[in-house]
Amino acid sequence: MKARSSQPIRWGLVALATIWMLIIVPLSAAAAPYAALVMDARSGEVLHSRNADTRLHPASLTKMMTLYIAFEAVENGEIGLDTPVRISKHAASEPPSKLGLRSGQTIRFRYLLRAAAVKSANDAATAIAEAIEGSEAKFARRMNRTAKAMGMTRTTFKNAHGLTESGHLSTARDMTLLGRHVFYDYPDYYNLFSRISANAGVKKVYHTNRRLLRNYRGADGIKTGYTRAAGFNLTASAERGGERIIATVFGGRSTATRNAKVAELLDLGFRRAPSRVAVHKPRRPAYMGKVGGGTPGGFGKKVRLVAAAAVKKSLRPQVRPMPETAPVAIAAKDDIEAAIKAAQAVDLAAAVEQPREAGATVLPKVKPEARPEDLVLASVQQPAEDPVQEVVTRLSTSGGRNWGINVGRYPSQYKARKVLLKTALNEMSTLDGSLRKVVKRRAGFDANFMGLTRETADLACRRLQAKQVTCFMIEPGGGA
């Protein structure tokens, strides 16, 4: 009798298990649909796609955009890599994966980048957003503006980390486009995504997908992502023999199966991609940053930009009244030109006699010609205040550019020249071709870079200020 009574129970358990396998499991799998896209990074040609335009949860693939904007902010002087960032309560409370930051803690911006790229730390991603835009909501709006400018037409960001949120959606195609932009637009920072481990300031962190990086030949990034709603996502890039393939997978069932699928797709890409193809880099989106003051709420530190730091009052000297009896230059046109050439020759010879330093232009010694004896030059009274003595340490190739920047006043000519050289080496991209000048003042020696356009001077100052270097712009005729 006992055996008979237990038989219905066993059949009931079997029925429940069958229902679970047939209904519950498929429903959970349906929460993370599969999508994929494979692209030749050199040309942007799509080599394979499946559900590539279906809007799905991107999970931590979102951090590719967070880091892209962070690189943009550093390049444009909004913030420096060594800028200290104060962690908010909101950032510290983000769920794992996280770096373990505490509310009120201060950490350098570069460590937040490493933690977000390598460990996929959610607290670091939120801190990056707040440091740049003041709040995560404002940062998300900037993410969406940048995505639209990139052509990511089916992406909407609601946060900086990728945790599941209503409306926070993207596609395999859009994430592949984003990965391509990261690689081509910021190649100097792309290596972050290939680091197996990194020093994140408070501790050493390890890459979330180091197995693929170690096991797939040529793999060098980019980003993993996982939530229950998204499944196991990955955008990966690999380079072999000059060919570069980017593949994105949404909805993987596990880390292992996702990695296997991405490896399969990368192999497919290398098989289908032509050996030789012209490289057509994607067009970099318009800069979506803004000039502003301090960060709302006090979280992070936004560097004051040049629009706020530029000289407000023109330093252009006023025209001095000339006496009615002032002598006038009396000379033939040829004699004037000869005198100018002679004066230039004297200045060049004097420049050559200056002590040579690294990076200085060495000119051949020029023997000045005698000035014409019959030339009478105008007599102008020398201003009594703040006499200027200039020491040229590098010839300008400015081609008529007449803006400059000042990087400080120093007690000696040697110190000013040393600072100019160090600054030029650290900021070669914007200061290349400029004229380094040491200007003697009563209170010391000004270190100036001259021969810049207004735009170049503005960008150089912003980038230097982001590196905690004192800098202000010098207008044409403004006391250079």
DSSP string over 389-433? EEEE-S----SS--EEEEEEEESSHHHHHHHHHHHHHHTHHHHTT
Per-residue confidence (pLDDT) for residue 389, from 0 to 100: 54
- In this predicted structure, what is the pLDDT of residue 318? 52
C-alpha–C-alpha distance, residues 232 and 227, integer Å: 7
Query: How distant is the alpha carbon of residue 143 from its chain centre?
Result: 15
- Give the residue with greater pLDDT, 213 vs 336: 213
* Paired residues of 38 in beta bridges: 48, 247
pLDDT at position 371, please? 52
Share of the chain above pLDDT 70, in %: 70
CA–CA distance, 249 with 37 (Å, rounded to integer): 7
The secondary structure element, H or E, covering residue 436 is strand 435-441
DSSP strand E in 164-281: where?
197-199, 204-206, 219-227, 231-240, 243-252
**What's the angle, vertex CA 364, arms to CA 361 and CA 367, rounded to 5?**
135
CA dihedral 448, 454, 455, 460 (to 10 degrees): 10
Answer whether residue 186 shows pLDDT above 90: yes
158: nearest Cα among 171, 174, 141, 173: 141
pLDDT in tens, 389-421: 555 444 444 445 788 999 988 888 888 898 998
Region label for 399, one of left (φ > 0), alpha (ψ between -120 and 50) or beta (otherwise) = left
Token pair for 299: 């979280």
Q: What contacts 258, CB < 8 A, 6 or more positions away?
A: 231, 232, 233, 234, 249, 252
Q: Where is average pLDDT lowest: 25-29, 157-161, 338-342? A: 25-29
For residues 223 and 357, which has the higher predicted lDDT (pLDDT)? Answer: 223
Checking if the pLDDT of 105 tops 80, the result is yes
| Mean pLDDT computed over every residue of the chain | 80
- For residue range 39-64, what is the model confidence (pLDDT) as tens digits? 999 999 999 999 999 999 999 999 99
Residue whose pair of structure tokens reads 């209904």 in the numeric block = 23
Cβ atoms < 10 Å from Cβ of 78: 26
Q: Which DSSP helix (H) or strand (E) runs through 173?
A: helix 172-185
368 CB-side CA count, 13 A: 18
Q: How far apart are CA 227 and CA 248, in angstroms?
A: 16
- 25 versus 270: the higher-pLDDT residue is 270
Radius of gyration of the chain from Cα atoms?
31
Give the model's pLDDT for residue 360.
44
pLDDT for position 426: 82
- Predicted pLDDT of residue 351: 42
Element at 449 (helix H, strand E): strand 444-452
The whole-number pLDDT of residue 271 equals: 97
Gap between the Cα atoms of 251 and 47, Å rounded:
20
Q: For 237-275, write each residue's pLDDT tens digit.
A: 999 999 999 999 999 999 999 999 999 999 999 999 999
* Phi, psi angles (nearest 5°) of residue 72: -60, -45
Strand partners, 225: 233
DSSP state of 95: P
Question: Could you tell me how many residues make up the chain?
Answer: 480
pTM: 0.61
What is the pLDDT, as a whole number, of residue 239? Answer: 96
What residues are paired with 437 via a beta bridge?
Answer: 392, 448
DSSP reduced 3-state for 348: helix
Residue 4 pLDDT > 80, yes or no? no
Mean per-residue pLDDT, 154-158: 98
- How much of the chain, in percent, has pLDDT values that exceed 90? 55
Q: What is the pLDDT of residue 34?
A: 97
Coil, strand or helix: which one is 3? helix
Contact 453, 461 (CB under 8 A): no
Region of 110 please: left (phi>0), alpha (psi -120 to 50) or beta.
Answer: alpha
pLDDT band at 71 (very low <50, low <70, confident <90, very high): very high
Structure tokens of 326? 């002032």
pLDDT digits (tens, 9 = 90+) for 285-310: 999 886 443 333 333 333 333 333 33
Name the residues annotated as catalytic.
Answer: 60, 63, 120
Give the pLDDT confidence of 346-394 residue by residue, as tens digits: 444 444 444 444 444 444 454 555 555 444 444 444 444 455 555 544 4
Q: Measured in whole angstroms, how far is the alpha carbon of residue 84 from the centre of its chain? A: 17
CA atoms within 13 A on the CB side of 137: 2
Is 164's pLDDT higher than 60? yes
**SS3 category, 476:** coil
3-class secondary structure, 158: coil
Q: Which two tokens stand for residue 437?
A: 């000048």
